[in-house]
Amino acid sequence: KSFQDLLQKQEGDRALWEYPFAVAGVNITFMLIQILDIEAIKPRNLVGATFLKFLAENESAFDLLYCITFKLMDHQWLAMHASYMDFNCPTFLMLDLLRFMQTVMKSTRRQIERELLEENIKRLEDLPSYRLLN
């Protein structure tokens, strides 16, 4: 449901200038692959090892974390109150938009990593950002 809400822009205040949805999805996928160390046979970092425990208990853990991350990114994007005025002339609009998106993605990554490493997190539903799905 949350993913469909994001796709259709059905909930919450919408920014005057939306992020490119497909680009956001690709960036989130690659970001999660990196921070969870998915390409390694055995995770080489604590975030990846922590996620592996969640995956052992819930085969849909990646799907859930993906939705949480997307919703968090959307929340942070809207919190920045982006509008056309945040971007320079139309010639550089796409470049400015991508830079702005990189800033949001870095912030999202830091928060997801921080939440996954919190000691009291026993399952993905315990993540503070999980409440964004409701």
Find the Cα–Cα–Cα–Cα dihedral 71, 100, 87, 24, rounded to 10°: -50
**Residue pLDDT, tens place only, 18-66:** 677 788 888 899 999 999 999 998 889 999 999 999 999 999 999 999 9
Q: Which amino acid would we find at residue 59?
A: E
pLDDT digits (tens, 9 = 90+) for 97-114: 677 778 889 999 999 999
Give burial (CB, 10 Å; 0-12/13-18/19+) of 43: middle
Task: Detail the DSSP E strand segments found in 1-62.
Answer: none
Q: Which helix (H) or strand (E) holds 30?
A: helix 21-35
Structure tokens at 60: 């849909």
Q: Which pTM value belongs to this model?
A: 0.79
| Confidence check: pLDDT of 90 > 60 | no
End-to-end C-alpha distance for the chain, whole angstroms: 9
